[in-house]
Structure 1
Amino acid sequence: MNTVPECRVLTVGEESTSVLIIDDLVADVKSIYDHARNRCQFSQESGTYYPGVRAPLPGGYSSTLRSIADQYIRQHYEIGGGLEAVSCAALFSIVTMPEEHLAPLQRIPHFDRHEQNIYAVMHYLSPGQFGGTGFFRHKPTGFERIDDSRRAEYLSAVSRFFDEHGQPPATYIRTTTNQYELIGSVDYKPNRLVIYPGNLLHSGLIDPAADIYRGKGLARLTCNILLNYE
């Protein structure tokens, strides 16, 4: 890892959620990209809505990234004393699903987990220009983060909106719609680390012309870790 990379804080939404942005994280990001593309076996995950393929992270990279992210999380979020960071997911990810194949829930923002002490850690790995990450407010409820107290109400409101207005268009969400407001975004930049609470509504800002891997050219490769403080 590079020595003490600078951390910027983006505050998003009416709930003033902090999103951490750390650039130039590692000295040789190309070696991680090359390892993922040449040595990892990617496959589609069952039981998830991720619109692409994934592969486990190598142990050394995963543990080092977890340790670095943990330092930033403890500096900028309220983590109770005595809690330890445990990885509940650690994966390489590549978007592969064409828009016309998206299920309705893949066309709207999502939250990773509803628990309070889980944080998403994402490392942009690919060279080139790709879509970043957007953060959203659900207009009917005003919710930006979906914790345990809001989960049932939020899911009910989403279902009701579909019933009343129909399913969203078969596209990746990239901007404000009649159901969601874009409240902030982080641009894609190779070797950039992004950290945010796992219950914050978000979506990859996927450009179908550039970001969907079809077997040739560069892929929008990210590393995705979920850290649970328990």
Structure 2
Amino acid sequence: MFNPNPTLQSIALHDGHTCWVIDDAFTRPEQLRQFAREQRAAFAPAPHNAYPGVELLMPPEFSDRLAEFFAQHVRRRLGGRRTLHMYSRLSMVTKQPHELLPRQWLCHRDNQGLPADQCIAASVLYLFDDPALGGTAFYRPRKSPQETAQLVHDCGQMDAATFSARYGIAPGYMLDGNDWFEKTGSVPARYNRLIFYDGSLFHTGELATPQRYLNDPDTGRLTVNGFFTCSRAAG
């Protein structure tokens, strides 16, 4: 299923971080899109996270292969020593800007609650044909860690009007940054492109065409997202 001879490209981000990009990642990517078609009715919102759409957990057999690929080609490059836990899911963005909660107006990171001796990596496989549906953008906080932490806390607790008034952030998908976050780089989407990055970096999809985000594996923004919790490599 995976390209047996992948070529890794590096895209430099801020503070020495790197996003690793593999094009033509799967030998038969259409099988994944066909699986999404067959399972379309099983996609559902996931209230426990801030993803602005619907999701479907991938079968263990697929996640195991993705974990093997990650361990072989990427884990050490992102500071991991051993994979402790991972999972993957199919995802489709479906929410319109007026439907978003405050925590969906912002970029986010995936390492909340991890102990200091662990790290998390994330991956995105783009399974749509039109790059205009959006790649992935990365951001650096403009404020202090304490101020940023308070913002992140409040976006999950306040109603939209209160949050917007307090922080000066308008409803809608985040694109070019704001007073709180500087956009430092992005990776364009491409069909069958797989990217890996440090999940502790603030990031979000570049979602500039919301009118086209449909619950349809053939025309929507279909991705496979992977999350890898690892012990940290020494040094």
Structure 2 length normalisation: TM-score? 0.83
Q: Which residue of 1 aligns with 2:45?
A: 44
Structure 1, unaligned runs of 5 or more: 142-149
**Residues 164-173 or 193-202, more deviating:** 164-173
Selected match of 1:99 from 93, 97, 100: 97
Q: Unpaired runs of 5+ in structure 2?
A: 156-162
Aligned amino acid, residue 16 of structure 1: G
Specify whether residues 202 and 45 from structure 1 end up closer, same or farther in structure 2 by C-alpha distance, changes over 3 A only.
same
Q: How does 1:143-182 map to 2 (within 5 A)?
A: 150=145, 153-157=147-151, 159=154, 166-182=167-183
In 2: Cα distance, 1:90 partner to 1:216 partner: 17
Aligned to 1:126: 128
Which whole-Å CA distance do the structure 1 matches of 2:169 and 2:98 have between them?
A: 12
- Distance in 2 between the 1:103 and 1:167 partners? 15
Q: Does 1:72 align with 2:73?
A: yes
State the Cα RMSD in Å. Answer: 2.4
State the Cα distance separating 1:60 from its structure 2 match. 2.3
| 1: CA distance, partners of 2:177 / 2:119 | 28
Question: Closer, same or farther in 2 for the Cα pair 1:174/1:9, shift >3 Å?
Answer: same
User: Could you list the per-position Cα deviations for residues 134-186 of structure 1 after superposition, in whole angstroms to 9, with x for gaps in the alignment?
Assistant: 00011122xxxxxxxx5x552225559x5875442221111132221110000
Alignment TM-score, normalising by the size of structure 1: 0.85
Q: How does 1:48-63 map to 2 (within 5 A)?
A: 48-63=49-64
CA gap 1:206/1:75 in 2 versus in 1, 3 angstroms? same
Q: Give yes or no for contact 2:136–2:203 (8 Å, CA) kept in 1.
A: yes
Deviation per CA, 1:20-64, whole angstroms, max 9, x where unpaired?
111100111111111112225100112221110000112322211
**Which amino acid is 2:67 matched to?**
R
The share of aligned pairs that are identical, in percent, is 25
| Distance of 1:28 and 1:182 partners within structure 2 | 34
Deviations 1:84-143 (A, max 9, x none): 3421x32110001110111111111100123341111111112223200000011122xx
Q: Does 1:6 align with 2:4?
A: no
Q: Which ranges of 4 or more aligned residues in structure 1 deviate by more than 4 Å? A: 157-160, 162-165, 214-217
Higher-helix-fraction structure: 2
- Partners of 1:60 and 1:100 lie apart in 2 by 37
- Give, in whole Å, the separation in 1 of the partners of 2:185 and 2:76: 22
How many angstroms apart in 1 are the aligned matches of 2:59 and 2:69? 16
Distance 1:209 1:6 in 2: 32
Say how many residue pairs are matched.
217
Q: Is the 8 A contact 1:123 1:193 kept in 2?
A: yes
Say if 1:24 and 1:174 are closer, same or farther in 2 by CA, change over 3 A: same
